[in-house]
């Protein structure tokens, strides 16, 4: 079996606005999705997943798209995870020119699904990397990021930026503005995450912002202001000014709330973190539920969040210096 892993990520600044070409700043975190791929000669695609914050599941597809059985998908997140693998495998076929080989794909992940930590991007990156290597091709990081981006774009009906997939493929701290994706120097950021146990629907949340932006000038201005915040946030980070970065994260959360993508539990965790002395706290990713990201070099925020009603898990997340890792 050929195995690759790829990290999750947090947005320090700029989610949603990045979809409209504004800059965003992200950090890869040491929570990973690991994907194993074993070629099979009957052309079938079999996906087995564990540890996706859901009961493990197995889905088997036929050799051709028309041959797919109905998947019993009481869990819409399971469907989503399977779609990412399905689309990633199409990219493996496209890169290698091999349309015949089937695959057993095994996913293990310690990134909760749909919670703003980039689980789908990490699965897409790791699946494409492992799948292409299983057929004898090793992709450069840029092509891997591009293919993983297209996977997200296809599954999310054209509503994806390059940010999540570039960050997962590359690791470290990154800045993304439209097609311009680059690594940036950032200090050792003291990231603490709060997770409410839930998930948001990225497609719906992105559509909601799109509608608001079309209807109200204030919403279009808000999206642009988030871009300005991300520019200032990047400056604060590269100057190692965590207090200023935290202040800007607080503004960013307020603007995301105005765009309707926060939730009661995310707001509750944000306020608990601020009350505990976090330098800054905001939702991360699409929102609607899932995770917040906070900056705090002390243990206070993690402790306070672990006692906050509605916070299912609080943990410190180290920066993942490397993106995709080739395990064997
Ligand atoms: C989702 O993790 C981040 C969004 O900005 C969508 C995207 O950039 O693809 C909401």
Question: Would the CATH topology of 2-184 be identical to that of 191-317?
Answer: no
Domain boundaries, the chain: 2-184, 191-317
- Nearest ligand 1 atom to the CA of 261 is 10
If you average pLDDT over residues 256-285, what whole number do you get?
98
Q: How far is the CA of 40 from the centre of ligand 1 (A)?
A: 34
Of all residues in the chain, what percent carry a pLDDT higher than 90?
80
Residue 151 beta carbon below 6 angstroms from any ligand 1 atom: no
Residue 286 beta carbon below 6 angstroms from any ligand 1 atom: yes
Residue range 288-299, pLDDT digits in tens = 999 999 999 999
Residue 93: count of CB within 10 angstroms of its CB: 16
Tokens at residue 114, please?
Answer: 């749909």
Residue 167 beta carbon below 6 angstroms from any ligand 1 atom: no
If you average pLDDT over residues 235-248, what whole number do you get?
97
pLDDT at 264: 96
Q: How far is the CA of 62 from the centre of ligand 1 (A)?
A: 31
Residue 18 beta carbon below 6 angstroms from any ligand 1 atom: yes
DSSP state, residue 68: P
Of all residues in the chain, what percent carry a pLDDT higher than 70?
90
Complex prediction ipTM: 0.98
CA distance 25 to 14: 6
Pick the residue with more confidence: 48 or 270?
270
pLDDT at 81: 74
- Nearest ligand 1 atom to the CA of 152 is 9
pLDDT at 78: 60
CATH fold group of domain 2-184 = Ribosomal Protein S5; domain 2 (3.30.230)
- Nearest ligand 1 atom to the CA of 15 is 5
CATH architecture of 191-317: 2-Layer Sandwich (3.30)
pLDDT at 128: 98
Residue range 147-174, pLDDT digits in tens = 999 999 998 888 889 999 999 999 999 9
Residue 321 vs residues 42, 174, 273: alpha-carbon distances, Å: 38, 11, 26
Which of 8, 10, 18 for mutating ligand 1's site (highest number of atoms within 8 Å of CB)? 18
Hey, which residues does 109 pair with through a beta bridge? 33
Q: 164 catalytic, yes or no?
A: yes
Asked whether 114 and 155 are in contact (CB, 8 A), the reply is: no
Tokens at residue 131, please?
Answer: 């799948």
pLDDT at 74: 35
Residue range 52-79, pLDDT digits in tens = 544 445 555 544 434 443 333 334 556 6
Asked whether 287 and 262 are in contact (CB, 8 A), the reply is: yes
If you average pLDDT over residues 270-291, what whole number do you get?
97
E-strand ranges in the chain read 2-13, 24-40, 45-50, 57-61, 102-109, 173-177, 180-184, 191-195, 280-283, 291-295, 313-317, 325-326
Find the catalytic residue in 164, 196, 201, 235. 164
Residue 89 beta carbon below 6 angstroms from any ligand 1 atom: no
Residue range 183-231, pLDDT digits in tens = 999 888 999 999 999 989 888 999 999 999 999 999 999 999 999 999 9
């Amino acid at each position: 079996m050929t195995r690759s892993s790829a990290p999750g990520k947090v947005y320090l600044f700029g989610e949603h606005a990045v979809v409209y070409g504004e800059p965003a700043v992200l950090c890869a975190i040491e929570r990973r999705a690991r994907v194993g791929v074993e070629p099979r000669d009957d052309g079938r695609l079999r996906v087995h997943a564990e540890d996706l914050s859901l009961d493990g599941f197995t889905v088997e597809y036929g050799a051709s798209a028309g041959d797919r059985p109905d998947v019993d998908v009481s869990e819409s997140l399971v469907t989503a995870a399977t779609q990412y693998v399905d689309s990633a495998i199409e990219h493996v076929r496209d890169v290698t020119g091999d349309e015949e080989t089937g695959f057993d794909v095994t996913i293990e992940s310690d990134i909760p699904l749909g919670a703003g930590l980039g689980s789908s991007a990490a699965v897409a990156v790791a699946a494409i990397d492992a799948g292409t290597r299983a057929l004898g091709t090793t992709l450069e990081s840029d092509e891997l990021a591009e293919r993983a981006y297209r996977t997200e774009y296809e599954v999310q009906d054209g509503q994806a930026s390059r940010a999540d997939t570039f960050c997962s493929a590359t690791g470290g701290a990154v800045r993304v503005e439209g097609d311009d994706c680059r690594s940036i120097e950032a200090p050792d950021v003291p990231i603490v995450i709060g997770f409410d146990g839930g998930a948001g629907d990225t497609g719906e949340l992105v559509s909601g912002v799109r509608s608001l932006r079309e209807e109200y000038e204030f919403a279009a201005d808000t999206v642009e202001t988030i871009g300005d915040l991300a520019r200032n946030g990047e400056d604060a980070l590269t100057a190692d000014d965590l207090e200023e970065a935290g202040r800007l994260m607080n503004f960013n959360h307020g603007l995301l709330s105005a765009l309707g993508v926060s939730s009661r539990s995310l707001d509750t965790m944000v306020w608990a973190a601020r009350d505990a002395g976090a330098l800054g706290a905001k939702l991360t990713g699409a929102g609607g539920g899932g995770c917040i990201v906070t900056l705090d070099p002390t243990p206070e925020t993690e402790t306070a969040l672990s006692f906050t009603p509605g916070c299912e898990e609080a943990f410190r997340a180290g920066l993942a210096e490397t993106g995709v890792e080739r395990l064997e």
